[in-house]
Amino acid sequence: MKNLRQLLPPLNALRTFEAAARHGSFKMAAEELCVTQAAVSRQIQTLEDFYGLKLFLRGNRKVELTSEGHSLFLAASSALQHIATTSRELLRRNSLDYLALITTTAFAQLWLMPRLKQLRAEHPELQLHLISSDANPDYQERFGAAVTLGLEEHPQYVAEYLFSEEIFPVCTPGFLAQNPQITTLEGLMSVTLLNLSASHWKARLWAPVDWAFWFKQFGVDASMSKETMDFSHFSMLLDAVQEEVGVGLAWRHLVQPQLDAGKLVRPTRETLLANDRRHYFVCRRDLAGSMEMQILRDWLLEQTQELRG
C-alpha cells in the first residue's frame, strides 16, 4: 500500500488533467470543473512536477498532449470511467430520490443543457442525476434511463424512438464571406474540413460519419480535399468552427440553436438524412410506469417532435 501511495499522482490534479486532455482546452476544463482557468493550470503544473515531464504543449489558443501526456490520458480516462461506472451503480442502489439519465457528452452539453432550466421550471418535482458518456450504456450496468444512439433490444428495457440524424456542413457567416466558393461541394474541397475522429468513436451500432462518408453520399470523392483536421469530441470541433478554423460536419439536433441565432450558417444545400441512425429513449421496464419516468419520457418526446417531423 505504501508503494501504491508513492506511485499515485495527486488525484485532484489527475482529475483536472483528464478533463483538460479530453477537451483539449484548459478553459473548457475549468468550466466543467467550476474552477478558474488559473486553477486548472496550477493542477496541471503540479502533475508535471510530480512526473518531471511536460504533459501538454501550450499554444496561444489551444493545448496539445505530448506523447507522455497521451499515455497518461489513456490510463486516467479508463480508470476514471471504471470508477464512474461502479459509482453509478452504487448510487443507484443507495438512492430512490433521483432519476439517473445517461446521454452522450455532446447531447448533454449541446442539446440538454440549454433546455435544462425549462425542464426544471416545468417539472420541479423531477430530480435528475445527469451522467454523460462517450458510448451507449451497457445493459449489465442496470442503468435507469438513457438516450441512446441506436437500439440494442433487451427484455428488461423498453424504448421510444426520439429522432433520426440529419448531417450537413456548417461554418460561421464570416468564414463564408471570406470563402464564397464553399457554396458548392467542389468549393468545400478548397478549405480545411473538420472531422469527428473515427478513432474516438465508441457507438457500437454505427460507423462514424466523416467527410469521406458524407461526400460519398453525393457522388463526390473526398480525396481531393485540401486539408482535414480531426477532433476527439464534437464540442471541440464546434469550437474550431466558431473560431473559423474551417468547415465542420454538424448534426442538426446539436447546432439548430446556433443556426437560428445566425452564429452558424449552412454553406451548401446538401444534407444527409440518415434515417437509419435513430436515437431512442430507453428505460428499465420495471420503472417505465413511474411518474418520474413518464414525465421525462413525455418531455423528451415533446422537445424532439420537430426533429421527427
CA distance 254 to 256: 6
240 and 292 housed in the same domain = no
* H-run or E-run covering 263: none
- Percent of the chain beyond pLDDT 90? 60
Q: Within a 10 A sphere around the Cβ of 214, how many other Cβ atoms?
A: 23
Q: What is the mean pLDDT of residues 112-140?
A: 88
Q: Which of 178, 175, 183 shows the shortest CA–CA distance to 270?
A: 183
Question: Which amino acid, 236?
Answer: M
pTM (2 d.p.) = 0.68
Q: Please say which residue of 50, 84, 118 terminates a domain.
A: 84
CA distance 280 to 209: 19
Asked whether the predicted pLDDT for residue 89 surpasses 80, the reply is no
**103-112, 117-126, 200-209, 291-300, range with the lowest pLDDT:** 200-209
158 and 65 housed in the same domain = no
DSSP 171-218: B-HHHHHH-GGGGSHHHHTTSEEEEE-GGG---TTS----HHHHHHTT
φ/ψ region of 131 (left if φ > 0, alpha if ψ in -120 to 50, else beta) reads beta
pLDDT at 133: 82
Asked whether the predicted pLDDT for residue 176 surpasses 60, the reply is yes
196 and 267 housed in the same domain = yes
196 and 252 housed in the same domain = yes
Q: Locate 303 and state its grid cell.
A: 422537445
CA distance 26 to 36: 9
SS3 state at 266: coil
Q: Which residue has the higher pLDDT, 63 or 146?
A: 146
Q: Which of 108, 158, 148 shows the shortest CA–CA distance to 128?
A: 108
142 and 229 housed in the same domain = no
* Residue 1's pLDDT band (cuts 50, 70, 90): very low
Report the Cα–Cα distance between both ends of the chain, in Å, rounded.
Answer: 59
Q: Please say which residue of 84, 107, 139 terminates a domain.
A: 84
Q: Which residues contact 76 (CB under 8 A, 6 or more apart)?
A: 14, 17, 18, 21
Q: Within a 10 A sphere around the Cβ of 197, how many other Cβ atoms?
A: 15
pLDDT digits (tens, 9 = 90+) for 94-120: 544 578 899 988 999 999 999 999 999
SS3 state at 150: coil
Domain count, the chain: 3
157 and 290 housed in the same domain = yes
pLDDT digits (tens, 9 = 90+) for 158-169: 999 999 999 999
295 and 154 housed in the same domain = yes
* H-run or E-run covering 8: none
pLDDT at 103: 93
pLDDT at 267: 97
Are 301 and 162 within 8 A, CB to CB?
Answer: yes
233 and 258 housed in the same domain = yes
pLDDT at 203: 59
Summary mean pLDDT of the chain: 89
pLDDT at 95: 47
157 and 285 housed in the same domain = yes
185 and 263 housed in the same domain = yes
Q: What is the mean pLDDT of residues 138-145?
A: 86
* Residue 84's pLDDT band (cuts 50, 70, 90): confident
Q: What is the CATH number of the domain that holds 150?
A: 3.40.190.10
170 and 268 housed in the same domain = yes
pLDDT digits (tens, 9 = 90+) for 233-272: 888 999 999 999 999 999 999 999 999 999 999 999 999 9
Q: What is the mean pLDDT of residues 294-300?
A: 96
175 and 264 housed in the same domain = yes
pLDDT at 282: 97
* Chain centroid, CA 282 distance in Å: 19
Are 248 and 254 within 8 A, CB to CB?
Answer: no
Q: Please say which residue of 58, 84, 110 terminates a domain.
A: 84
Query: Which of 57-66, 145-154, 224-233, 259-268 has the highest average model confidence (pLDDT)?
Result: 259-268
User: Burial of 265 by CB count in 10 Å (0-12 exposed, 13-18 middle, 19+ buried)?
Assistant: middle
CA distance 270 to 258: 19
Domain holding 185, by residue range, is 165-275
Q: Which residue has the higher pLDDT, 25 or 265?
A: 265
User: Burial of 256 by CB count in 10 Å (0-12 exposed, 13-18 middle, 19+ buried)?
Assistant: middle
